[in-house]
Amino acid sequence: MSYLITGLLRLCHIAFGLYAWTTFVVFSLATIVLVAITPLKSLRRRVAKATSRLVFRLTGTPLDVTGIENFPGGASVLVANHSSYIDGVLLTAVLPARFSFVIKGEMTRIPLVHFLLRRIGAEFVSRAGTSKRTSDARRLLQLARDGESLAFFPEGTFVAEPGLLKFHSGAFVAAVRGKLPVVPVVIRGTRKMLPAGRLLPVPGRLAVMVKEPVHARALDDPAPKLLQLSRQSILENLDEPDLG
């Protein structure tokens, strides 16, 4: 009997995974068409937010969102833990539609994905070549100085093993140079739903917790302390070990 139940559960998970991917692909293509014809970046971001929320709704995925009131009224730098490919879609669905996601440059090699992300204002950064990395860093610093809200996954990647990886410093340097608060954000549930190395997602409940901002102006040696305090804030509610 236990083998039968296990087999049925596996079939249900496969069916859900195929349905979820189909839903995601269909709405991604619809979003690409809509952002292609929508003239203003602010409106394109609202379109992406609406379609992302619809994907979670149609797949029956509950979203637990807390702490939205912690976002400052003006610009800020958001930093979140990274556990799955779902993370970007999830934050698009729940965040205020004013953030420019900072994304690894490898995504520019996927034409449709690159087009969609570029149309909603994503910023791409290279991880190869000193001159290109320097140029990208200067561009992000200028955006921060201009008051642009930026969203980072400071781990830079994700792995199947639960835990928070070491943070890179770029988000925190941008926050200091732009005199912007850092808003730590905790994502839970995405690693279980679609971890690294798995093709099909399984049903699950997702949670996003927006923590209180960390301000550079009150700190000595701001960037390293901003990094440390933001990382500690995420670990407090992540329920995963520190791998850094």
Read off the CATH number of the domain in which 187 is found: 3.40.1130.10
In DSSP terms, 100 is beta-bridged to 150
Cβ neighbours for 36, distance < 8 A, ≥ 6 positions apart: 115, 119
Specify the pLDDT at position 200. 93
Please name the amino acid found at residue 187. I
Specify the pLDDT at position 129. 58
Residue 229 covered by a domain: yes
**Measured CA distances, 84 to 68, 153, 193, 194 (Å):** 22, 11, 8, 6
Q: pLDDT for 219-243, tens place per residue?
A: 667 888 999 999 999 999 999 999 8
Residue 243 covered by a domain: no
Residue 24 covered by a domain: yes
Please report which confidence band the pLDDT of residue 14 belongs to, taking 50, 70 and 90 as the band edges: very high
Contact 207, 64 (CB under 8 A): yes
Specify the pLDDT at position 219. 67
The torsion angle over the Cα atoms of residues 33, 52, 155 and 173, rounded to 10 degrees, is 70
Residue 60: DSSP 8-state: T
Contact 183, 91 (CB under 8 A): no
**Quick check: 10 pLDDT over 90?**
no
Least confident of 80-84, 93-97, 174-178, 188-192: 174-178
Between these two residues, 111 and 86, which has the higher pLDDT value? 86
Spatial CA neighbour of 191 closest among 158, 165, 168: 158
Whole-number percent of the chain with pLDDT over 70: 94
Residue 240: DSSP 8-state: S
Residue 124 covered by a domain: yes
Specify the pLDDT at position 140. 82
**Quick check: 21 pLDDT over 90?**
yes
Residue 244 covered by a domain: no
Please report which confidence band the pLDDT of residue 33 belongs to, taking 50, 70 and 90 as the band edges: very high
Contact 184, 234 (CB under 8 A): yes
Query: Taken in order 87, 92, 93, 96, is the CA torsion positive or negative?
Result: positive
Q: Is 74 left (phi over 0), alpha (psi -120 to 50) or beta?
A: beta
Whole-number percent of the chain with pLDDT over 90: 62
Span 91-114, mean pLDDT? 88
What is the b/e burial string over 179-189, where b = at least 16 CB atoms within 10 angstroms of the residue's CB? Answer: ebbbbbbbbbb
**Quick check: 66 pLDDT over 90?**
yes
Domain count, the chain: 1
Average pLDDT, the chain: 90
Residue 6 covered by a domain: yes
Distance of CA 244 to the CA centre of its chain: 19
Residue 185 belongs to what domain range? Answer: 2-238
Please report which confidence band the pLDDT of residue 203 belongs to, taking 50, 70 and 90 as the band edges: very high
Please report which confidence band the pLDDT of residue 124 belongs to, taking 50, 70 and 90 as the band edges: confident
First to last CA, the chain: 43
Please report which confidence band the pLDDT of residue 103 belongs to, taking 50, 70 and 90 as the band edges: confident
Query: Cα separation of 166 and 6, whole Å?
Result: 37
| Angle formed at CA 179 by CA 117 and CA 225, multiple of 5 degrees | 95
238 phi, psi to nearest 5 deg: -85, -30
